[in-house]
Amino acid sequence: HNFNGTVYFIFQPAEEGRAGAKKMIDDGLFEQFPADCVFGMHNFPDIPAGHFAVKIGPMMAAFDCFEITLKGLATHAAMPHLGNDVIVASAQLITNLQTIVSRTVNPADPAVVTITQIHAGNTWNAIPDSVLLRGTFRCFDSVVQALITNKIRQQVDAICAAFSMAAELTFNPENLGYPVTFNSAKETALALQAATAVVGTDNIHTNPTPSMGSEDFAFMLQEKPGCYIWIGNGPSENSCLLHNPHYDFNDGILAVGVAYWVKLVEIILAKG
């Protein structure tokens, strides 16, 4: 082989939303396999097939999720004045949560708050006694992260006061939130060198817009310097976007991806 050193391949469970990387780190990943730096790659749509995109600093956002249960008083749908309508209250809360980014976060700081689940009721003619809301928020800055957290609490408290009901609010109920996927300068330069050697300067995107999606690999980048690079999958038209059940992985880029890894190892662990 054309390198001098050791390469570790990390096979990680629970990558999608379950913080498997954090669990591996806590279990002694880098004590058992003492790597000097770490590298990752993700197939990405709407980047030309076989191109690479990478930059120093944030590549993907921090991720937090939240769960809100509003508790009111159930009643007949024809007699809402006798109960306490959690459906109306939840609708107002969902609307109010959208003002956090638009009215309290600096417009220069990317952020998003999204409600992804609403669970309530099971019949046509009754107002239920509770509503369960679940959602997520993303950003690239810890100050913004703390601001959004505080504002969600304030909005929940305000709705409870306005509608005379109670609520339970939990952040990251199933596992830790994810940190920002942040590329270190030296390792990003090495990744760029390897990618350029494989596909040429014209096929490298050095200032991609960071994704509001999040990445488990971010936990590893908190422990070790490294770089997370995107390889282009080609246009999303007719093959859909990430996390779409019809997403089509472009097998044609496999050889390019493999060549990148080989070149990266040869550069970092070059023979003396």
Rg (CA), the chain: 23
158 and 130 part of one domain: yes
C-alpha distances (whole Å) from 215 to each of 64, 70, 93, 175 are 12, 31, 29, 14
pLDDT for residue 59 is more than 90:
yes
Asked if residue 4 belongs to a domain, the reply is no
What is the domain count for the chain?
Answer: 2
Domain coverage including residue 207 = 20-60+181-268
Tell me the C-alpha distance between 148 and 159, whole Å.
16
Interval 129-159: pLDDT, tens: 999 999 999 999 989 999 999 999 999 999 9
84 and 120 part of one domain: yes
- The pTM (predicted TM-score) of the whole model is 0.86
66 and 167 part of one domain: yes
- The pLDDT score that the predictor gives to residue 269 is 95
- The pLDDT score that the predictor gives to residue 27 is 95
Asked if residue 68 belongs to a domain, the reply is yes
Reduced to 3 states (helix: H, G, I; strand: E, B; else coil), residue 40 is: strand
73 and 132 part of one domain: yes
Interval 207-225: pLDDT, tens: 999 999 999 999 999 999 9
Question: What CATH number is given to the structural domain containing 147?
Answer: 3.30.70.360
- Confirm if 193 and 267 have CB atoms less than 8 A apart: yes
- The pLDDT score that the predictor gives to residue 246 is 80
- The pLDDT score that the predictor gives to residue 209 is 94
Picking from 135, 152, 171, the residue at the C-terminal end of a domain is 171
Asked if residue 6 belongs to a domain, the reply is no
Tell me the C-alpha distance between 93 and 97, whole Å.
6
Unique residue bearing structure tokens 């409870």: 160
**What is the mean pLDDT of the segment spanning 195-218?**
95
Q: Which H or E element spans position 149?
A: helix 142-163
Question: What CATH number is given to the structural domain containing 258?
Answer: 3.40.630.10
Reduced to 3 states (helix: H, G, I; strand: E, B; else coil), residue 205 is: strand
123 and 209 part of one domain: no
Interval 82-121: pLDDT, tens: 999 999 999 999 999 999 999 999 999 999 999 999 999 9
